[in-house]
Amino acid sequence: MKQAIPSILALLGAAVLQVGVAPRLAIGGVVPNFILLVVVTLAMVEGPTAGCALGFAGGLVLDLLGSGPIGVWALVLCVVGYLTGMLQERLFAEGWLLPVTVVFAASLVAAFGYWMVSSIVGEGGAFGATVLRIILPSAVYNTVLAVLVYPWLARLLRREPAVETVRQFR
Amino acid sequence: MRGLEVETRKGRPVLLVVLVVIAIILVSIYFREGEDGVLHRSRAVALAASEPVAIAGEWVSTPFRRVGGLASGLAVSRTEYEELRVQNEEFRARLAELEEAGLEAERLRGLVGFVEEQDFEYVGVRVIGRPTTSWEGALIIDRGENDGIRTGMPVIAAQGLVGQVVEVSPGSSKVRLITDQRSGVAALVQASRAEGIVAGTLEGPMILDFVDAEEAPVAGDVVLTSGMGGIYPKGLVVGDVVDVYDERHRLYPTIEVESRVPITEIEEVLVITAPGTAGDEAGQ
Candidate from A47, A65, A118 with C-beta closest to B11: A47
> Residue A96 carries which DSSP code?
S
- Domain B184-258 belongs in CATH node 2.40.50.100: no
What lies within 8 Å, CB to CB, of A154 at 6+ separation is: A41, A44, A45, A99
Does pLDDT of A92 surpass 70? no
> Strand B206-209 to strand B173-177: parallel, antiparallel, or no bridges (unpaired)?
unpaired
Q: Which of B23, B7, B15, B69 is nearest to A168 (CA)?
A: B7
Surface of B (243-272) touching A: CB under 8 A: 264
Q: How far is B270 from chain A (nearest CA, A)?
A: 20
Q: How far is B58 from chain A (nearest CA, A)?
A: 7
Write the single-letter amino acid at A68.
G
CB contact under 8 A, B204 and A133: yes
CA distance B26 to B179: 26
Mean pLDDT is lowest, of A100-114, B124-138, B251-265, B267-281, for: B267-281
pLDDT tens for B177-206 read 999 988 999 999 988 889 999 999 887 789
- Domain B39-177 belongs in CATH node 3.30.300.30: no
pLDDT at B35 (0 to 100): 79
pLDDT class of B118 with cuts at 50, 70, 90: low
CB contact under 8 A, B202 and A125: yes
Candidate from A26, A66, A130 with C-beta closest to B130: A26
* Four-residue CA torsion sign, B153, A124, A126, A33: positive
Domains of chain A plus CATH, in order, are 2-158 (1.10.1760.20)
Surface of B (175-214) touching A: CB under 8 A: 176, 180-182, 201-204
Candidate from A23, A48, A168 with C-beta closest to B129: A23
pLDDT tens for A40-75 read 998 988 889 999 999 999 999 999 998 889 999 999
Same fold yes or no, B39-177 and B184-258: yes
Closest-CA residue of chain B to A45: B9
Candidate from B1, B29, B61 with C-beta closest to A170: B1
Q: What is the mean pLDDT of residues B254-277?
A: 86
Q: How far is B128 from chain A (nearest CA, A)?
A: 9
Q: Where do the domains of chain B lie?
A: 39-177, 184-258
ipTM above 0.95, yes or no: no
pLDDT at B283 (0 to 100): 34
Q: Which of B216, B219, B233 is nearest to B160 (CA)?
A: B233
Closest-CA residue of chain B to A26: B134
Q: For residues B108 and A26, which has the higher predicted lDDT (pLDDT)?
A: A26
Q: What is the mean pLDDT of residues A120-147?
A: 88
Alpha helices per DSSP H over chain B: 13-32, 38-76, 78-83, 88-118, 278-283
CA distance A23 to A17: 9
